Structure 1
Amino acid sequence: MTDPGAYVEEIRRIIAFALEIPPERLADTTPFDDLGMTSRQRIQLLARAEVTYGVSVDIDELDRLVDIRGVAEVIAEAVAAQRPRA
């Protein structure tokens, strides 16, 4: 599996831009609910991450998108699943 940490900073930037808040206000484990993120915004975040990383993520993973770390883990798994197996 790809290291989720590789995606954290870009995801932080995406979220900060979407919510119009400074990136430094976002810790990896800050719950999106605490930031006022709606379920619609989480779906938009998922769509943006899919485009950014060229992956497809099952909508069932939406429940895991509760903080930056969760998004990074979902993206890392999607990237790893796309790689050809040796």
Structure 2
Amino acid sequence: MADPAGYVDEIRRIISFALEIPPEQLTDTTPFDDLGMTSRQRIQLLSRVEVAYGVSVDVDELERLVDIRGVAEVIAEAVEAQHARG
């Protein structure tokens, strides 16, 4: 699997911008629920990272989008799957 750590900083930047929170206040494991992120905002986040990385993620993966680390893992898997398909 691609290393999820390579996606963490960009995902943190996207979330920081979307929620208007300074990036230094977001750790890799800060639960999105603690930030007040709604399910709608998670869908928007998913859309943003799909565009940023040129991948498509199944909406069933939403339940894994609970923190920055979870988003990074989902994106790493999607990027790897896309590369495997060619």
Regarding TM over 0.5, the answer is yes
**Runs in 1 of length 4+ with deviation above 3 angstroms?**
none
Equivalent position of 2:12 in the other structure: 12
Root mean square deviation, CA, Å: 1.3
- Do residues 51 (structure 1) and 13 (structure 2) align? no
Equivalent position of 2:39 in the other structure: 39
- Provide TM-score, normalisation by structure 2: 0.97
State the number of aligned residues. Answer: 86
1:43-83 per-position Cα deviation (integer Å, ceiling 9, x unaligned)? 00000000000000000000000000000000000000011
- Provide TM-score, normalisation by structure 1: 0.97
The amino acid across from 2:9 in the alignment is E
CA distance in 2, matches of 1:11, 1:68: 7
CA distance in 2, matches of 1:24, 1:49: 20
Gaps of 5+ in 2: none
Gaps of 5+ in 1: none
